Amino acid sequence: AQSVTQLGSHVSVSEGALVLLRCNYSSSVPPYLFWYVQYPNQGLQLLLKYTSAATLVKGINGFEAEFKKSETSFHLTKPSAHMSDAAEYFCAVSESGFGNEKLTFGTGTRLTIIP
Amino acid sequence: GAVVSQHPSWVICKSGTSVKIECRSLDFQATTMFWYRQFPKQSLMLMATSNEGSKATYEQGVEKDKFLINHASLTLSTLTVTSAHPEDSSFYICSAPNRVYAEAFFGQGTRLTVV
């Protein structure tokens, strides 16, 4: 069985500061990992995904994540937070990198940006 | 990217009535679609996998007679909440895998409130 754990249900950072959202995974097979963003009352938008091609993955809106097998982690970072980054962020895992399998989501992290 | 449209975006219904939610892949075909449920301030939980032309696969604990899923065409899956009760109030989100983009695209979600 696969699972992901997101440490910190709420994270607040000042505008312009570093954003770090943590995600640890558990998987018995090589995992495919995803980060999604959700704005209020909306669906999910893919930020980036890890499919074993490269350990450092760059996504949209200036976000990136690094896959660290030794730490079973896939933390999401952004060098400089913007007010528009305020949203809910979900880490997810699947057994396939093609999106055709079900996703197992973490509990989510609500990111607040302080002006 | 590809587009998945979900309708309605919100609905209020009385206890005991049924509500149908539609999920359409607008510019691609999807033989499989996924239905998730999200309670306030919680993560997404997979309810069922919708398969075109065959029966849906339900996750453990999800009542198939209460949550009827029909995937009648390659671009449309429907979720019908039958005899709705207040505890069914939730945010329902569908997703459809797209092999060209190698990711699953999500609908905008439907907020169901049962009064």
Inter-chain CB proximity A99 and B98 less than 8 Å = yes
pLDDT of residue A53: 76
Lowest mean pLDDT among A1-10, A20-29, A92-101: A92-101
- Structure tokens that stand for B72 in this block: 């009648």
pLDDT tens per residue, range A30-89: 788 999 999 887 888 999 999 877 899 999 999 999 999 999 999 999 999 999 999 999
Strand, coil or helix: B87:
helix
Q: For residue B110, with 0-12 CB atoms within 10 Å meaning exposed, 13-18 middle and 19 or more buried, which class applies?
A: buried
pLDDT of residue B102: 80
Q: CA-CA distances (angstroms) from residue A110 to A40, A47, A60?
A: 11, 15, 18
pLDDT tens per residue, range A86-108: 999 999 998 776 666 788 899 99
B95-105 average pLDDT score? 87
| Rounded Cα–Cα distance for residues B44 and B106 (Å) | 12
A115 at the B interface (CB within 8 A)?
no
If interface means Cβ-Cβ distance under 8 Å, which residues of chain B face chain A? 4, 6, 9-10, 32, 34, 41-46, 49, 91, 93, 95, 97-99, 101-104, 106-109, 111
What is the C-alpha R_g of chain B? Answer: 13
Write out chain A residues lying below 8 Å of B98, CB-based.
99
| Rounded Cα–Cα distance for residues A84 and A37 (Å) | 11
pLDDT of residue B98: 87
pLDDT of residue A99: 61
pLDDT tens per residue, range B45-60: 999 999 998 899 999 9
- The answer to whether the beta carbons of residues A107 and A9 sit under 8 Å apart is yes
pLDDT of residue A97: 62
- The answer to whether the beta carbons of residues B34 and B52 sit under 8 Å apart is no
Give chain B's mean pLDDT.
93
For chain B, the residue count is 115
- Between chain A and chain B, how many beta carbons pairs sit less than 8 Å apart? 61
Would the pLDDT of A27 be above 90?
no
Write out chain A residues lying below 8 Å of B6, CB-based.
43
Give me the residue label for tokens 């002006």.
Answer: A115
pLDDT of residue B101: 82
pLDDT tens per residue, range B1-31: 788 999 999 999 999 999 999 999 999 999 9
- Structure tokens that stand for B19 in this block: 């509500």
pLDDT of residue A76: 98
Peptide bond between residue B86 and the one before it cis (omega within 30 degrees of 0): no
| Rounded Cα–Cα distance for residues A85 and A97 (Å) | 25
A8-23 average pLDDT score? 96
